[in-house]
Amino acid sequence: MCGIVGFTGEDRPLLEAMTQIVAHRGPDGDGHYVGTGISLGHRRLSIIDLSAAGAEPMCNEDRTVWLVYNGEIYNHQDIRDWLEPRGHQLSSHTDAEVVLHAYEEEGAACLDRFIGMFAFALWDSRRGELFLARDRLGIKPLYYTLNHGRLSFASEVKALFCDRSVPREVDYQGLFYYLGHEYVPAPRSAFAGISKLPAAHYLRYRPADGFLQISRYWDITFPEGAALAAGRARPAAAWADEVRGALEEAVKRWLVSDVPVAVFLSGGLDSSSIVAFMARHYAGRLRTFSVGYADRSFSELSYARIVADHFGTDHEELIIQPPEPADVERVVWHLDEPMTDLSTLAFFLICRQAAKEVKVCMSGEGGDEVFAGYERFIASRLERRFYRFLPDALRRHTLPRLAGRLRDRPQKKGPVNLLKRFIAGAALPDDGLHMRWQYFLDDPLATRLLAPELLARIDPDAFAPYREALAHTAGADPLSRELYLDLTVPMANSVLSKVDRMSMAFGLEVRVPFLDHKLIETVSQVPAELKLRGMTTKWVLRQAMRDILPEPILTRKKQGYSLPLKNWLREDWREFLLDTLRSCPLIREICRPAGVQAVIDEHMSLRANHNHTLWALLNLALWHRRFVDTSAEAAAAPRALAREAAR
């Protein structure tokens, strides 16, 4: 893993500043190239070929094509064997050099060959063209902005602001999406004029004539018609065998490394499956890291210990206490734009611990989206089969009002908390599919919380990004459409954003083999009824892992890397929350003061659980102070945090 930056044009001091601000992504070295019409910078985290031959920026034999690259191509040896008979002279054993020469051979079509995670930039001086590309699932980030004819790009937004001509302005539509969905969907970002290159896309830009093209090169497909019928006729055991083989091959592929590889073990089905297959194929002694809490309703440590004992790993546990506010601010700084997945802080803390001992960790992200593991899939099925047949007024008005009178319970779930959440999600528009249960700004809350001036300047259609994505799945069954939505919208913009930023804050590479695109292409052909069978999530994966994993792991329910945030906001972080919200000019601009106070009062008194909304507002206020407020005091804080993180 690495950090990449650059722009069309020539400015070495700016390039060096951009490269330095992402130094935490690559503590093993840096490099710069300034040529006619281009500036490219790189921070290196050495994982494959640790020698100086792997330094970047990297060029081809005649120095006409230059590369900066962030990622891992796990089939790079196969591609090398294909390139060398065609006359390409490779001077290193890195996967980065394979990317460079594959582009020379095939242009944009080279992307079809790569298995892994990547974001890279190529300057083709023969064409006078900049070529940017991002992996199929968006595991690695890439931001860009076009400012007065100069196209600048970076792994992290903060590098783009080294150019003082790039404005620090709020994208209000993006912030509206963020407050409900907890992230800003691509191609938008939280900053006006700065875009994310969407997953599975590439960008071409010629500064000479202003030509700019963005194209998709891959998509997920699901069976229809005769293919669907044939899949359903196939025995379930055969599908389970194929899934097992595809997952084992994915884990084996993603083990390629010249440094030790460890695992983040939650004790859930996904990370436990990774441990099981690593135990078969990893040559060294396997290390596992787990995170837990004193509140057992949020902790999974007992399950993680079962797996660690079963496979004989060197196991380490981290018990999280309420972190200091400074840690929250560090998380916001590394995220670049507000994104409030409740597991982000926990992931930050476990990455900080693991990075003291290893450079690479496997993690189970993607398993729930590929195999239908979230409870929201169950909620959607229940709503489709039973709940939606209730009278509309009862479903959308009466029951939500009655459920709102139930007091929140302090534990993570429980029947009352689950009932309240189900009724609230089911009252939202059907366009949201299963993601309605992951949306936290319904119309009544938006009306009383947000300022009329904000509502007047944005499109209030919260689910527009979902409908755009679902246009690709018109003929698929309901569950497959939901899986597609999960994999193409929140995956890159929330889940993987968390994984990348929290790990790279400490120069730690995190690999996610459940997002191997070959595995996804296999599992997408599995009939939907084998993924969610009745109310059993991940049914085919559970069948695939029988006789491999301990029985308690196969039968347990999803929990995840969550944390007791709602209780921390009521207790340990109460003053931090109140002081931060009261002092933020952006909160005063976009929110009704009475609405904010009502949400605080209801949460503190247990009349409601507004932890998602309050956490979103807190992170938004911290983000605004760090990235948008241009006062000298506010601008100094992120630089200080960056220096501290780099140490």
Any domain includes 603: no
Any domain includes 423: no
- Structure confidence at residue 637 as a pLDDT band (50, 70, 90): very low
- Structure confidence at residue 403 as a pLDDT band (50, 70, 90): confident
Residue 339: which domain range?
Answer: 225-372+483-555
Q: Residue 296: what pLDDT?
A: 64
CATH number of the domain where residue 257 is located:
3.40.50.620
Q: Is 140 helix (H, G, I), strand (E, B) or coil?
A: coil
| Average of per-residue pLDDT across 637-643 | 46
Strands of 409-550, DSSP E: 509-511
Any domain includes 72: yes
Q: Residue 206: what pLDDT?
A: 98
Given the DSSP bridges, would you call strands 58-59 and 65-73 parallel, antiparallel or unpaired?
Answer: antiparallel
R_g of the chain, CA atoms, integer Å: 24
What are the distances in angstroms from CA 73 to CA 67, 76, 78, 119, 275? 15, 5, 10, 11, 21
What are the distances in angstroms from CA 56 to CA 94, 120, 159, 352, 609? 11, 12, 18, 26, 49
| Average of per-residue pLDDT across 247-260 | 96
Summarize pLDDT for 503-530 with one digit per residue, the tens. 999 999 999 999 999 999 999 999 999 9
Q: Residue 632: what pLDDT?
A: 39
- Cα–chain center distance at 159: 19
Which comes out higher in pLDDT, residue 610 or 395? 610
Any domain includes 267: yes
Which comes out higher in pLDDT, residue 474 or 97? 97
Residues 259 and 189 in one domain: no
| Global pTM value | 0.94
Q: Would residue 354 be called left, alpha or beta, if left means φ above 0 and alpha means ψ between -120 and 50 degrees?
A: alpha
Residues 153 and 71 in one domain: yes
CATH number of the domain where residue 101 is located:
3.60.20.10
Q: Residue 410: what pLDDT?
A: 64
| pLDDT over 60 (residue 634) | no
| Average of per-residue pLDDT across 160-188 | 97
Residue 211 dihedral angles phi and psi, to the nearest 5°: -65, 130
Which comes out higher in pLDDT, residue 268 or 644? 268
Region of poorest pLDDT, from 107-121, 462-476, 529-543: 462-476
Q: Per-residue DSSP letters for 542-576?
A: HHHTTTTS-HHHHHPPP--S---HHHHHHTTTHHH
- Structure confidence at residue 193 as a pLDDT band (50, 70, 90): very high
| Average of per-residue pLDDT across 577-601 | 96
Any domain includes 430: no
In sequence order, which residues have a C-beta less than 8 Å from that of residue 116 and are 6 or more positions away? 71, 72, 73, 74, 75, 95, 135, 254
Summarize pLDDT for 479-494 with one digit per residue, the tens. 999 999 999 999 999 9
Number of domains in the chain: 2
Residues 155 and 238 in one domain: no
Q: Residue 132: what pLDDT?
A: 98
Q: How many CB atoms lie within 10 A of CB 388?
A: 12
Q: Residue 633: what pLDDT?
A: 42
Peptide bond before residue 57 is cis, with ω within 30 degrees of 0: yes
Peptide bond before residue 187 is cis, with ω within 30 degrees of 0: yes
Burial of residue 393, with CB atoms counted within 10 A of its CB: 0-12 exposed, 13-18 middle, 19 or more buried: exposed
| Average of per-residue pLDDT across 539-568 | 87
Residues 168 and 256 in one domain: no
End position of a domain, from candidates 530, 555, 580: 555
Amino acid in the structure at residue 108: A
Residues 209 and 271 in one domain: no
Residues 135 and 29 in one domain: yes
d(CA 151, CA 607): 50
Residues 109 and 239 in one domain: no
Query: What percent of the chain is predicted at pLDDT more than 70?
Result: 94
- Structure confidence at residue 324 as a pLDDT band (50, 70, 90): confident
Residues 29 and 103 in one domain: yes
Q: Residue 642: what pLDDT?
A: 46
Mean pLDDT for all residues in the chain? 92
In sequence order, which residues have a C-beta less than 8 Å from that of residue 72 and are 6 or more positions away? 1, 47, 48, 95, 116, 117, 118, 254, 256, 509, 511
Any domain includes 18: yes
Summarize pLDDT for 37-72 with one digit per residue, the tens. 999 999 999 998 888 888 999 999 999 999 999 999
Residues 285 and 196 in one domain: no
| Average of per-residue pLDDT across 427-432 | 89
End position of a domain, from candidates 216, 242, 260: 216
| pLDDT over 70 (residue 561) | no
Summarize pLDDT for 524-536 with one digit per residue, the tens. 999 999 999 999 9
d(CA 624, CA 123): 34
Which residues lie across from 206 on neighbouring strands?
211
Residue 566 dihedral angles phi and psi, to the nearest 5°: -60, -35
The candidate with the shortest Cα–Cα distance to 234, out of 21, 510, 530, is 530
